[in-house]
Structure 1
Amino acid sequence: MRDSRGMALQSVASDIRRPLFRPGVLPTLVVLVLLPVLVSLGGWQLSRAEEKRALEQRHATRQAAAPVPVEALQDVRDPAGMRVHLHGRLDASHSLLLDNSIRDGQAGVELLQPFHDQASDRWVLVNRGWLPWPDRRTSPAFDTPGGLLHLTGEVYVPPGKSLQLRADAAQAGWPHLVTRIDAPALWQQLDREGLEQEVRLEPSPFTYRAEWALIAMPPERHIGYAVQWFALATTLFALYVYLGLRNARESRHAHPDA
């Protein structure tokens, strides 16, 4: 009786000494490296979603406001999205064609022209909308309305600096085909005083396809990416736990008397 009781106690003590979780060194190192990365990527996507929501909310607020004159922008630190009222004439002699603009799978350009605002006596680079490329060897055809015009648009500030190079300001002939808009460089070239930002015109008889996307990637897509990163992190951790429990169970079965 004492021997059987002693053996039972010895078996219990042996089970206690055996580890219940044995994932292995390599899986542990992999989890320690990858799990924080996956979680941080998910958190970063959530923060980007919040930034996009704030941007959309601010843009909606500014779009609901009445348009302001050009001179009112001088006291605004960040005029992005503000509606502005213009009264003056277009300069048909110095047009810019912004290349690499795709709409519905078709290549095209955005037409930008200097506009002299009479109230502020300043120049504004206005974006009149998108035009399709008929042929890369042929410039898209467009016309420029004459006379005094009353236009309304919104100030556009690109998110971050572009990595593309702008066209050579000294290229011969107008319109200039460019890959990035640099309004201050244009005003310096033309020796004019103008607004630093471009103004994207609202749809009117004087615009072409004036449909402007506020952001390339909406908040919902960032949330979707965050869910994917968190799901990968959860799957990785679940596999790690499963592997550790399985290895420990197999070790107990392989060495029942250890």
Structure 2
Amino acid sequence: MKTSIASATKRFRPGLAPTLVVLVLLPLMVGLGFWQLSRGHEKQLLVDSYAERRAAEPVSSERLNDMADPAFRRVHLRGQFDAKHGVLLDNRMRDGKAGVELLQPFHDQASGLWLLLNRGWLPWPDRRTPPAFTTPEQSVNLDAWVYVAPGETFQLHADPMSAQWPRLLTALHPAALWAELGRSGFAYELRAEAGPGTYETNWPVVAMGPEKHLGYAVQWFAMSLALLALYLYLGWHNAKEKHHGSGHESTQHV
């Protein structure tokens, strides 16, 4: 047994440095592959939940605060937009075009709730000119759904209170807006469906779909196999070179 192990060791000599590299990188890459699979599964559950809830009839706005899990629930609204205060979410791409999403406070008449309503996407091809939009002055009837981000979003802090409206930001929690305006509002953003006062409302469920996570997982596993194959090849190649070198030296010595 010891002889066979010693013989196998002689046939496999990868070297110390490659061995240390593989011991560090291989578990890391395999772990990242399984992490991507897990994220893909989470996103698939999110997409399935979204599809199920989007197929349901919209509920009344009075039920919003009583829902333990309001994510992606459809809601029927009737009320007015606050035209004085709005936020433009920057760096929103649609079909390769740069644009913004327009968010404005909305006062729902049935529930008395203040809601942060996303009216949709607007193109912004020329950044030297502010995005153009109008706000309905009369009450409107709208259907919307509650958007709950799947994870914490990096965001820049809002400008000081003296800054002009509308604000140009990269992200915003509704609580930050309600705190600045001194209002008690709903804790999540609502995304409007097509209706009066809306712009482009073809919303993606998640920024990165489950199929992309699967693709990344395949890439990590492929790189893991490539690293392992390179390590094995290097070990056998080095052992072969050492064996040939030893044989050559023995011949010269004789």
TM-score, length of structure 1 as denominator length: 0.84
Written as runs of structure 1 = structure 2, the 5 A alignment for 1:122-137 is 122-133=113-124, 135-137=126-128
Per-residue deviation, 1:169: 4.8
Corresponding residue for 1:191?
Answer: 182
1:174 corresponds, among 165, 181, 188, to 165
Q: State the distance in 2 between where 1:135 and 1:75 align.
A: 43
Aligned partner letter, 2:197: F
SS of the aligned residue for 1:247 comes to helix
SS of the aligned residue for 1:241 comes to helix
1:202 corresponds, among 177, 182, 193, to 193
Aligned partner letter, 1:214: V
Per-residue deviation, 1:15: 9.3
Per-residue deviation, 1:226: 1.2
Per-residue deviation, 1:16: 8.7
C-alpha distance 172-241 of structure 1, shift in aligned 2 (>3 A): closer
Q: State the distance in 2 between where 1:136 and 1:26 align.
A: 52
SS of the aligned residue for 1:102 comes to strand
1:141 corresponds, among 123, 126, 132, to 132
Q: State the distance in 1 between where 2:93 and 2:246 align.
A: 67
Q: State the distance in 1 between where 2:183 and 2:142 align.
A: 21
How many residues align? The count is 246
Written as runs of structure 1 = structure 2, the 5 A alignment for 1:1-258 is 18=7, 19-133=10-124, 135-256=126-247
Q: State the distance in 2 between where 1:181 and 1:246 align.
A: 57
SS of the aligned residue for 1:27 comes to helix
Per-residue deviation, 1:147: 2.6
Identity %: 56
Structure 2 unaligned residues grouped into runs of 5+: none
SS of the aligned residue for 2:24 comes to helix
Aligned partner letter, 1:200: R
Aligned 8 A contact 2:122 2:131 in 1 = yes
Superimposed CA distance per residue, residues 38-62 of structure 1 (whole angstroms, 9 cap, x where no aligned partner): 1111111111111111111111111
Query: CA RMSD of the aligned region, Å?
Result: 2.6
